[in-house]
Structure 1
Amino acid sequence: MTRLTRAEAKARTRERLLDAAARVFAQKGLAGASVDEIAEAAGYSIGAVYSNFGSKEQLFVELLKEKANDRVIRAAEIMADAEPDEARRAFSQLVIEVADKDADFAPLQAEFWLYAVRNPELMETYAERMREPRDLLTELVGRSVPDPDRAGELSAIVIALFQGLVRMRRVDPDSVPDELFGRALRWLFTGAEADEEQK
Protein backbone atom coordinates (compact mmCIF):
# COMPACT_ATOMS: atom_id res chain seq x y z
CA MET A 1 0.00 0.00 0.00
CA THR A 2 1.34 3.45 -0.97
CA ARG A 3 1.69 5.92 1.86
CA LEU A 4 0.17 9.34 1.34
CA THR A 5 2.35 12.41 1.58
CA ARG A 6 1.41 14.94 4.23
CA ALA A 7 -0.13 17.22 1.57
CA GLU A 8 -2.14 14.32 0.10
CA ALA A 9 -3.39 13.28 3.54
CA LYS A 10 -4.44 16.88 4.28
CA ALA A 11 -6.25 17.14 0.95
CA ARG A 12 -8.06 13.84 1.60
CA THR A 13 -9.10 14.97 5.09
CA ARG A 14 -10.38 18.25 3.67
CA GLU A 15 -12.35 16.47 0.95
CA ARG A 16 -13.94 14.05 3.43
CA LEU A 17 -14.88 16.91 5.76
CA LEU A 18 -16.48 18.82 2.87
CA ASP A 19 -18.45 15.73 1.77
CA ALA A 20 -19.67 15.09 5.30
CA ALA A 21 -20.51 18.75 5.80
CA ALA A 22 -22.62 18.79 2.61
CA ARG A 23 -24.72 15.90 3.91
CA VAL A 24 -25.10 17.25 7.45
CA PHE A 25 -25.82 20.86 6.41
CA ALA A 26 -28.37 19.74 3.81
CA GLN A 27 -30.19 17.63 6.42
CA LYS A 28 -30.01 19.94 9.44
CA GLY A 29 -29.28 23.41 8.09
CA LEU A 30 -26.36 25.59 9.05
CA ALA A 31 -27.74 26.58 12.45
CA GLY A 32 -28.90 23.04 13.31
CA ALA A 33 -25.69 21.25 12.32
CA SER A 34 -22.88 20.92 14.83
CA VAL A 35 -19.15 20.69 14.23
CA ASP A 36 -19.25 17.49 16.27
CA GLU A 37 -21.76 15.88 13.88
CA ILE A 38 -19.75 16.90 10.82
CA ALA A 39 -16.51 15.56 12.28
CA GLU A 40 -18.18 12.29 13.27
CA ALA A 41 -19.79 11.88 9.83
CA ALA A 42 -16.36 12.34 8.23
CA GLY A 43 -14.63 10.02 10.71
CA TYR A 44 -12.41 12.71 12.23
CA SER A 45 -12.09 14.71 15.44
CA ILE A 46 -13.53 18.17 15.95
CA GLY A 47 -9.96 19.44 15.83
CA ALA A 48 -9.71 18.35 12.19
CA VAL A 49 -12.62 20.64 11.29
CA TYR A 50 -11.12 23.64 13.06
CA SER A 51 -7.59 23.06 11.77
CA ASN A 52 -8.82 22.85 8.17
CA PHE A 53 -11.55 25.51 8.17
CA GLY A 54 -11.41 27.61 11.34
CA SER A 55 -15.16 27.67 11.99
CA LYS A 56 -18.44 26.06 10.98
CA GLU A 57 -19.34 29.13 8.92
CA GLN A 58 -16.00 29.08 7.09
CA LEU A 59 -16.51 25.39 6.33
CA PHE A 60 -19.94 26.17 4.90
CA VAL A 61 -18.69 29.03 2.72
CA GLU A 62 -15.82 26.88 1.46
CA LEU A 63 -18.29 24.11 0.63
CA LEU A 64 -20.39 26.48 -1.47
CA LYS A 65 -17.31 27.82 -3.24
CA GLU A 66 -16.13 24.29 -4.06
CA LYS A 67 -19.50 23.35 -5.49
CA ALA A 68 -19.70 26.58 -7.50
CA ASN A 69 -16.17 26.06 -8.83
CA ASP A 70 -17.07 22.52 -9.88
CA ARG A 71 -19.99 23.90 -11.90
CA VAL A 72 -17.86 26.59 -13.56
CA ILE A 73 -15.15 24.07 -14.44
CA ARG A 74 -17.84 21.88 -16.02
CA ALA A 75 -19.11 24.94 -17.93
CA ALA A 76 -15.57 25.61 -19.20
CA GLU A 77 -15.30 22.02 -20.44
CA ILE A 78 -18.63 22.34 -22.24
CA MET A 79 -17.69 25.64 -23.89
CA ALA A 80 -14.28 24.36 -24.96
CA ASP A 81 -15.53 21.26 -26.73
CA ALA A 82 -18.97 22.07 -28.13
CA GLU A 83 -20.70 24.07 -30.85
CA PRO A 84 -23.22 26.65 -29.53
CA ASP A 85 -26.29 24.39 -29.94
CA GLU A 86 -24.49 21.43 -28.36
CA ALA A 87 -23.24 23.66 -25.54
CA ARG A 88 -26.76 24.88 -24.75
CA ARG A 89 -28.02 21.29 -24.60
CA ALA A 90 -25.11 20.37 -22.33
CA PHE A 91 -25.82 23.35 -20.06
CA SER A 92 -29.46 22.30 -19.84
CA GLN A 93 -28.30 18.81 -18.89
CA LEU A 94 -26.14 20.35 -16.16
CA VAL A 95 -29.24 21.96 -14.61
CA ILE A 96 -31.03 18.60 -14.74
CA GLU A 97 -28.08 16.76 -13.16
CA VAL A 98 -27.78 19.26 -10.31
CA ALA A 99 -31.52 19.47 -9.67
CA ASP A 100 -32.25 15.76 -9.99
CA LYS A 101 -29.05 14.12 -8.74
CA ASP A 102 -27.26 16.58 -6.42
CA ALA A 103 -30.00 16.83 -3.82
CA ASP A 104 -27.79 18.87 -1.48
CA PHE A 105 -26.92 21.75 -3.85
CA ALA A 106 -30.11 23.86 -3.80
CA PRO A 107 -30.77 23.45 -0.06
CA LEU A 108 -27.17 24.40 0.75
CA GLN A 109 -27.34 27.57 -1.33
CA ALA A 110 -30.70 28.59 0.12
CA GLU A 111 -29.52 27.81 3.64
CA PHE A 112 -26.42 29.93 3.49
CA TRP A 113 -28.14 32.81 1.74
CA LEU A 114 -30.68 32.94 4.56
CA TYR A 115 -27.98 32.62 7.20
CA ALA A 116 -25.90 35.40 5.62
CA VAL A 117 -28.92 37.71 5.35
CA ARG A 118 -29.72 37.09 9.01
CA ASN A 119 -26.05 37.56 10.01
CA PRO A 120 -24.78 40.51 7.93
CA GLU A 121 -21.24 40.14 9.24
CA LEU A 122 -20.98 37.00 7.08
CA MET A 123 -22.29 38.64 3.91
CA GLU A 124 -18.90 39.97 2.81
CA THR A 125 -17.25 36.61 3.51
CA TYR A 126 -19.88 34.90 1.38
CA ALA A 127 -19.53 37.47 -1.42
CA GLU A 128 -15.75 37.22 -1.36
CA ARG A 129 -15.71 33.42 -1.61
CA MET A 130 -18.22 33.43 -4.46
CA ARG A 131 -16.26 36.00 -6.50
CA GLU A 132 -13.73 33.41 -7.67
CA PRO A 133 -16.24 31.14 -9.45
CA ARG A 134 -18.15 34.18 -10.75
CA ASP A 135 -14.93 35.71 -12.13
CA LEU A 136 -14.10 32.41 -13.84
CA LEU A 137 -17.53 32.36 -15.45
CA THR A 138 -17.17 36.02 -16.48
CA GLU A 139 -13.92 35.15 -18.23
CA LEU A 140 -15.64 32.30 -20.09
CA VAL A 141 -18.59 34.47 -21.10
CA GLY A 142 -16.23 37.26 -22.21
CA ARG A 143 -14.77 34.95 -24.86
CA SER A 144 -18.14 34.43 -26.53
CA VAL A 145 -19.79 37.88 -26.56
CA PRO A 146 -19.14 40.89 -28.80
CA ASP A 147 -18.56 43.26 -25.87
CA PRO A 148 -16.42 41.62 -23.16
CA ASP A 149 -17.19 44.59 -20.87
CA ARG A 150 -20.74 43.23 -20.55
CA ALA A 151 -19.51 39.76 -19.54
CA GLY A 152 -19.83 40.48 -15.81
CA GLU A 153 -23.48 41.44 -16.18
CA LEU A 154 -24.20 38.43 -18.37
CA SER A 155 -22.45 36.00 -16.00
CA ALA A 156 -24.52 37.35 -13.09
CA ILE A 157 -27.69 36.64 -15.07
CA VAL A 158 -26.45 33.16 -16.07
CA ILE A 159 -25.77 32.32 -12.39
CA ALA A 160 -29.19 33.62 -11.33
CA LEU A 161 -30.89 31.61 -14.09
CA PHE A 162 -29.01 28.46 -13.16
CA GLN A 163 -29.75 28.74 -9.45
CA GLY A 164 -33.37 29.68 -10.00
CA LEU A 165 -34.07 26.89 -12.48
CA VAL A 166 -32.36 24.30 -10.26
CA ARG A 167 -34.59 25.34 -7.35
CA MET A 168 -37.72 25.36 -9.48
CA ARG A 169 -36.98 21.91 -10.90
CA ARG A 170 -36.34 20.49 -7.41
CA VAL A 171 -39.80 21.67 -6.33
CA ASP A 172 -41.74 21.12 -9.57
CA PRO A 173 -39.81 19.15 -12.22
CA ASP A 174 -42.47 19.66 -14.88
CA SER A 175 -42.07 23.44 -14.68
CA VAL A 176 -38.47 23.23 -15.95
CA PRO A 177 -38.35 21.10 -19.12
CA ASP A 178 -35.01 19.50 -19.97
CA GLU A 179 -34.04 22.08 -22.63
CA LEU A 180 -35.23 25.22 -20.83
CA PHE A 181 -31.87 26.46 -19.54
CA GLY A 182 -30.33 26.10 -23.02
CA ARG A 183 -33.21 28.06 -24.58
CA ALA A 184 -32.95 30.73 -21.88
CA LEU A 185 -29.21 31.10 -22.61
CA ARG A 186 -29.92 31.45 -26.32
CA TRP A 187 -32.53 34.14 -25.62
CA LEU A 188 -30.14 35.93 -23.25
CA PHE A 189 -27.15 35.98 -25.58
CA THR A 190 -29.22 36.72 -28.69
CA GLY A 191 -30.74 39.67 -26.84
CA ALA A 192 -27.31 40.88 -25.73
CA GLU A 193 -26.02 40.69 -29.32
CA ALA A 194 -29.07 42.57 -30.64
CA ASP A 195 -28.56 45.23 -27.98
CA GLU A 196 -24.95 45.69 -29.12
CA GLU A 197 -26.01 46.01 -32.76
CA GLN A 198 -28.43 48.81 -31.87
CA LYS A 199 -25.69 50.95 -30.29
Structure 2
Amino acid sequence: MDAERDEPIRQRLTRGEAKARTRALLLDAAARVFARKGFTGASVEEVAEAAGFSTGALYSNFDSKEALFLELLSHRQTDRITEAAQALNSHEVGTGEAAAELGRLLIDVADKDIDFAPLQAEFWLYAIRNPEVLDTLAAKLREPRRALEDVISTSLARQGAPAGVSPEAVATVVAALFQGLVRQRRIDPSSVSEALFGQALKWIFVGISASDVPAPDDGD
Protein backbone atom coordinates (compact mmCIF):
# COMPACT_ATOMS: atom_id res chain seq x y z
CA MET A 1 0.00 0.00 0.00
CA ASP A 2 1.13 3.60 -0.64
CA ALA A 3 0.85 4.46 3.06
CA GLU A 4 3.21 1.61 3.95
CA ARG A 5 5.82 2.76 1.42
CA ASP A 6 5.58 6.26 2.88
CA GLU A 7 6.16 5.07 6.46
CA PRO A 8 9.75 6.48 6.68
CA ILE A 9 8.43 9.89 5.58
CA ARG A 10 5.67 9.84 8.21
CA GLN A 11 8.19 8.99 10.93
CA ARG A 12 10.05 12.24 10.17
CA LEU A 13 6.90 14.35 10.52
CA THR A 14 5.39 15.79 13.68
CA ARG A 15 2.01 14.46 14.73
CA GLY A 16 0.26 17.53 13.35
CA GLU A 17 2.15 17.36 10.06
CA ALA A 18 1.39 13.67 9.69
CA LYS A 19 -2.31 14.25 10.29
CA ALA A 20 -2.40 17.11 7.77
CA ARG A 21 -0.62 14.93 5.21
CA THR A 22 -3.04 12.06 5.77
CA ARG A 23 -6.01 14.38 5.28
CA ALA A 24 -4.48 15.77 2.10
CA LEU A 25 -3.92 12.27 0.68
CA LEU A 26 -7.48 11.26 1.57
CA LEU A 27 -8.90 14.38 -0.09
CA ASP A 28 -6.83 13.76 -3.21
CA ALA A 29 -8.03 10.16 -3.37
CA ALA A 30 -11.62 11.26 -2.72
CA ALA A 31 -11.46 13.66 -5.67
CA ARG A 32 -10.40 10.81 -7.96
CA VAL A 33 -12.89 8.25 -6.65
CA PHE A 34 -15.84 10.66 -6.57
CA ALA A 35 -15.03 11.82 -10.11
CA ARG A 36 -15.01 8.22 -11.34
CA LYS A 37 -18.03 6.83 -9.45
CA GLY A 38 -20.06 9.84 -8.31
CA PHE A 39 -20.91 10.75 -4.73
CA THR A 40 -23.56 8.09 -4.15
CA GLY A 41 -21.66 5.40 -6.07
CA ALA A 42 -18.38 5.84 -4.20
CA SER A 43 -17.72 4.23 -0.83
CA VAL A 44 -15.45 5.27 2.01
CA GLU A 45 -13.68 1.92 1.65
CA GLU A 46 -12.76 2.74 -1.96
CA VAL A 47 -11.50 6.18 -0.98
CA ALA A 48 -9.40 4.80 1.87
CA GLU A 49 -7.92 2.10 -0.37
CA ALA A 50 -7.12 4.62 -3.12
CA ALA A 51 -5.30 6.78 -0.55
CA GLY A 52 -3.40 3.79 0.87
CA PHE A 53 -5.01 3.93 4.31
CA SER A 54 -7.44 1.87 6.34
CA THR A 55 -11.08 2.82 6.68
CA GLY A 56 -10.35 3.54 10.33
CA ALA A 57 -7.79 6.16 9.33
CA LEU A 58 -10.38 7.80 7.12
CA TYR A 59 -12.95 7.92 9.89
CA SER A 60 -10.38 9.32 12.32
CA ASN A 61 -10.12 12.34 10.00
CA PHE A 62 -13.67 12.62 8.63
CA ASP A 63 -16.88 11.66 10.42
CA SER A 64 -18.67 10.51 7.27
CA LYS A 65 -18.58 10.38 3.49
CA GLU A 66 -20.62 13.61 3.52
CA ALA A 67 -18.01 15.33 5.71
CA LEU A 68 -15.25 14.18 3.36
CA PHE A 69 -17.05 15.53 0.31
CA LEU A 70 -17.87 18.83 2.01
CA GLU A 71 -14.22 19.33 2.91
CA LEU A 72 -13.26 18.63 -0.69
CA LEU A 73 -15.92 21.08 -1.91
CA SER A 74 -14.76 23.77 0.50
CA HIS A 75 -11.15 23.37 -0.69
CA ARG A 76 -12.21 23.73 -4.33
CA GLN A 77 -14.30 26.81 -3.58
CA THR A 78 -11.48 28.39 -1.57
CA ASP A 79 -8.98 27.79 -4.39
CA ARG A 80 -11.27 29.47 -6.91
CA ILE A 81 -11.95 32.43 -4.64
CA THR A 82 -8.21 32.82 -4.02
CA GLU A 83 -7.64 33.02 -7.77
CA ALA A 84 -10.45 35.56 -8.14
CA ALA A 85 -9.09 37.59 -5.22
CA GLN A 86 -5.65 37.72 -6.83
CA ALA A 87 -7.21 39.05 -10.04
CA LEU A 88 -9.24 41.68 -8.21
CA ASN A 89 -6.36 42.71 -5.98
CA SER A 90 -4.06 43.08 -8.99
CA HIS A 91 -6.56 45.00 -11.10
CA GLU A 92 -9.38 47.25 -9.98
CA VAL A 93 -12.90 45.95 -10.54
CA GLY A 94 -14.32 47.24 -13.80
CA THR A 95 -11.00 47.33 -15.65
CA GLY A 96 -10.35 45.27 -18.73
CA GLU A 97 -7.46 43.44 -17.05
CA ALA A 98 -9.60 42.24 -14.14
CA ALA A 99 -12.41 41.21 -16.48
CA ALA A 100 -9.99 39.26 -18.67
CA GLU A 101 -8.46 37.35 -15.75
CA LEU A 102 -11.84 36.50 -14.24
CA GLY A 103 -13.09 35.41 -17.64
CA ARG A 104 -10.16 33.04 -18.05
CA LEU A 105 -10.83 31.63 -14.57
CA LEU A 106 -14.43 30.83 -15.47
CA ILE A 107 -13.44 29.20 -18.75
CA ASP A 108 -10.80 27.09 -16.99
CA VAL A 109 -13.35 25.83 -14.48
CA ALA A 110 -16.04 25.22 -17.10
CA ASP A 111 -13.83 23.56 -19.70
CA LYS A 112 -11.09 21.84 -17.70
CA ASP A 113 -12.55 20.97 -14.28
CA ILE A 114 -15.26 18.93 -15.97
CA ASP A 115 -15.64 16.26 -13.27
CA PHE A 116 -16.44 18.43 -10.29
CA ALA A 117 -19.43 20.41 -11.58
CA PRO A 118 -21.57 17.26 -11.99
CA LEU A 119 -20.48 16.16 -8.50
CA GLN A 120 -21.63 19.49 -7.06
CA ALA A 121 -24.99 19.10 -8.79
CA GLU A 122 -25.32 15.52 -7.53
CA PHE A 123 -24.48 16.51 -3.97
CA TRP A 124 -26.87 19.48 -4.12
CA LEU A 125 -29.71 17.09 -4.98
CA TYR A 126 -28.58 14.74 -2.21
CA ALA A 127 -28.54 17.61 0.30
CA ILE A 128 -31.97 18.86 -0.77
CA ARG A 129 -33.35 15.42 0.05
CA ASN A 130 -31.50 15.30 3.38
CA PRO A 131 -32.17 18.54 5.31
CA GLU A 132 -29.55 17.79 7.98
CA VAL A 133 -26.91 17.63 5.25
CA LEU A 134 -28.28 20.78 3.63
CA ASP A 135 -27.65 22.79 6.81
CA THR A 136 -24.09 21.49 6.98
CA LEU A 137 -23.54 22.29 3.29
CA ALA A 138 -24.74 25.87 3.80
CA ALA A 139 -22.44 26.33 6.80
CA LYS A 140 -19.43 24.85 5.00
CA LEU A 141 -19.84 27.08 1.95
CA ARG A 142 -20.01 30.20 4.12
CA GLU A 143 -16.31 29.72 4.95
CA PRO A 144 -14.89 30.34 1.45
CA ARG A 145 -17.56 32.95 0.73
CA ARG A 146 -16.28 35.09 3.61
CA ALA A 147 -12.99 35.40 1.74
CA LEU A 148 -14.93 36.59 -1.30
CA GLU A 149 -16.80 39.08 0.90
CA ASP A 150 -13.48 40.58 2.01
CA VAL A 151 -12.43 41.09 -1.61
CA ILE A 152 -15.84 42.52 -2.52
CA SER A 153 -15.74 44.85 0.48
CA THR A 154 -12.37 46.24 -0.62
CA SER A 155 -13.62 46.70 -4.18
CA LEU A 156 -16.76 48.50 -3.01
CA ALA A 157 -14.69 50.85 -0.85
CA ARG A 158 -12.33 51.62 -3.74
CA GLN A 159 -15.17 52.72 -5.99
CA GLY A 160 -17.01 54.63 -3.27
CA ALA A 161 -20.12 52.47 -3.28
CA PRO A 162 -23.12 53.60 -1.21
CA ALA A 163 -22.87 52.68 2.47
CA GLY A 164 -26.00 50.55 2.31
CA VAL A 165 -24.49 48.04 -0.12
CA SER A 166 -23.85 44.73 1.66
CA PRO A 167 -20.60 42.95 0.69
CA GLU A 168 -22.23 39.70 1.83
CA ALA A 169 -25.14 40.18 -0.57
CA VAL A 170 -22.86 41.14 -3.46
CA ALA A 171 -20.62 38.14 -2.77
CA THR A 172 -23.67 35.86 -2.85
CA VAL A 173 -24.73 37.28 -6.22
CA VAL A 174 -21.20 37.02 -7.67
CA ALA A 175 -20.82 33.39 -6.52
CA ALA A 176 -24.23 32.46 -7.96
CA LEU A 177 -23.38 34.23 -11.22
CA PHE A 178 -20.12 32.32 -11.54
CA GLN A 179 -21.73 28.93 -10.84
CA GLY A 180 -24.61 29.65 -13.20
CA LEU A 181 -22.35 30.70 -16.06
CA VAL A 182 -20.14 27.63 -15.58
CA ARG A 183 -23.19 25.39 -15.91
CA GLN A 184 -24.54 27.34 -18.87
CA ARG A 185 -21.21 27.07 -20.69
CA ARG A 186 -21.19 23.31 -20.14
CA ILE A 187 -24.64 23.15 -21.77
CA ASP A 188 -24.03 25.68 -24.56
CA PRO A 189 -20.40 26.83 -24.81
CA SER A 190 -21.10 29.40 -27.51
CA SER A 191 -23.50 31.28 -25.22
CA VAL A 192 -20.83 32.04 -22.57
CA SER A 193 -17.75 33.68 -24.00
CA GLU A 194 -14.52 34.26 -22.09
CA ALA A 195 -15.44 37.92 -21.72
CA LEU A 196 -18.97 37.44 -20.38
CA PHE A 197 -18.28 36.91 -16.67
CA GLY A 198 -16.03 39.96 -16.44
CA GLN A 199 -18.57 42.02 -18.38
CA ALA A 200 -21.38 40.89 -16.10
CA LEU A 201 -19.35 41.90 -13.04
CA LYS A 202 -18.81 45.34 -14.57
CA TRP A 203 -22.58 45.64 -15.04
CA ILE A 204 -23.10 44.75 -11.38
CA PHE A 205 -20.55 47.23 -10.03
CA VAL A 206 -21.59 50.01 -12.38
CA GLY A 207 -25.17 49.45 -11.26
CA ILE A 208 -24.13 49.58 -7.62
CA SER A 209 -22.32 52.87 -8.15
CA ALA A 210 -25.31 54.36 -9.94
CA SER A 211 -27.90 53.17 -7.42
CA ASP A 212 -29.24 55.10 -4.47
CA VAL A 213 -29.00 52.50 -1.71
CA PRO A 214 -30.30 53.57 1.70
CA ALA A 215 -27.96 53.37 4.65
CA PRO A 216 -28.45 50.38 7.00
CA ASP A 217 -31.19 50.77 9.60
CA ASP A 218 -29.59 51.75 12.91
CA GLY A 219 -32.61 50.64 14.89
CA ASP A 220 -34.11 54.10 15.50
Shared fold by TM > 0.5?
Answer: yes
Q: Report the CA distance shift for 1:32/1:197 in structure 2 as closer, same or farther (over 3 A).
A: closer
User: Hey, which of these two has a bigger chunk of helix by percent?
Assistant: 1
Q: Which runs of 5+ in 2 are unaligned?
A: 1-7, 216-220
Distance 1:144 1:196 in 2: 18
Which stretch of the first structure deviates more once superposed, 149-158 or 188-197?
188-197
User: For the Cα contact (< 8 Å) 1:26–1:108, is it kept in 2?
Assistant: yes
User: For the Cα contact (< 8 Å) 1:158–1:185, is it kept in 2?
Assistant: yes
User: For the Cα contact (< 8 Å) 1:98–1:105, is it kept in 2?
Assistant: no
Q: Name the residue aligned to 1:4.
A: 13
AA paired with 2:72? L
User: What is the correspondence of 1:48-197 to structure 2 with a 5 Å cutoff?
Assistant: 48-83=57-92, 84-145=95-156, 146-147=161-162, 149-196=165-212
Is the aligned partner of 1:18 residue 2:27? yes
Question: Alpha-carbon deviation of 1:17?
Answer: 1.0
User: For the Cα contact (< 8 Å) 1:22–1:104, is it kept in 2?
Assistant: no
AA paired with 1:179? A
Question: Alpha-carbon deviation of 1:196?
Answer: 3.3
TM-score (norm 2): 0.83
User: For the Cα contact (< 8 Å) 2:162–2:213, is it kept in 1?
Assistant: no
Q: Which runs of 5+ in 1 are unaligned?
A: none
Aligned residues, how many?
A: 199
Deviation per CA, 1:176-199: give whole Å up to 9, x if none.
111111111111111111113899
Which stretch of the first structure deviates more once superposed, 22-31 or 117-126?
22-31
Question: Alpha-carbon deviation of 1:133?
Answer: 1.0
User: For the Cα contact (< 8 Å) 2:33–2:47, is it kept in 1?
Assistant: yes
Report the RMSD for the aligned CA atoms in angstroms: 2.0
Q: Which has the larger radius of gyration?
A: 2
Distance 1:112 1:41 in 2: 21
Question: Alpha-carbon deviation of 1:123?
Answer: 1.0
Distance 1:44 1:103 in 2: 27
Distance 1:18 1:196 in 2: 46
State the identity %: 56
Question: Alpha-carbon deviation of 1:77?
Answer: 1.4
Q: Name the residue aligned to 1:27.
A: 36
AA paired with 1:42? A
Distance 1:93 1:29 in 2: 27
User: For the Cα contact (< 8 Å) 1:18–1:59, is it kept in 2?
Assistant: yes
